Amino acid sequence: MAKSLDKVLQPDGSYKWEEVEHITEAQQIVAACPAPELVEEPVKKEALVTQKETIADFEAMTKSQLETYGRTIGLELDKRHNKAELIAEIQKFTSAN
C-alpha cells in the first residue's frame, strides 16, 4: 500500500511529520475492537432437568402464576375462572401428556 505524509503525536506532546501506512476507517475499527473469543462452558447436568420433572406447588401460586405456568407447558388458561378450576385444568392437561 502507498504511504502518506501525516503529523504523528510524539511522547513529549509535539508533532512530527512522518510517512505512515494509510489505514481505512474499517481497518482502524477492527484493530481497536477485536472480536471477543468464544468460550464454551461445560453444560451442567442439573440444568438439563425438564419442565415435566419439576413439581409445582399450585396451591401456593397466584392465578397469574398459574396462567404463566400453563403457557410454559402449552396450555392456555382463562384467569376469569377461579383458582381451583385453573389447578384442575393444569392437572388434567399434565396427566393426559
pLDDT of residue 87: 92
3-state secondary structure of 17: strand
79 close to 63: Cβ distance less than 8 angstroms: yes
The string of pLDDT tens digits covering residues 82-97 is 999 999 999 999 888 7
pLDDT at 53: 44
At residue 36 the predicted structure's pLDDT band, cuts being 50, 70 and 90, is confident
Confidence of residue 11 (pLDDT cuts 50, 70, 90): confident
pLDDT tens for 62-72 read 999 999 999 99
Whether the Cβ atoms of residue 87 and residue 66 lie closer than 8 Å to each other: yes
- Classify 5 as helix, strand or coil: strand
CB atoms within 10 A of CB 4: 11
Q: Report the alpha-carbon distance of residue 70 to residue 74 in Å, rounded.
A: 6
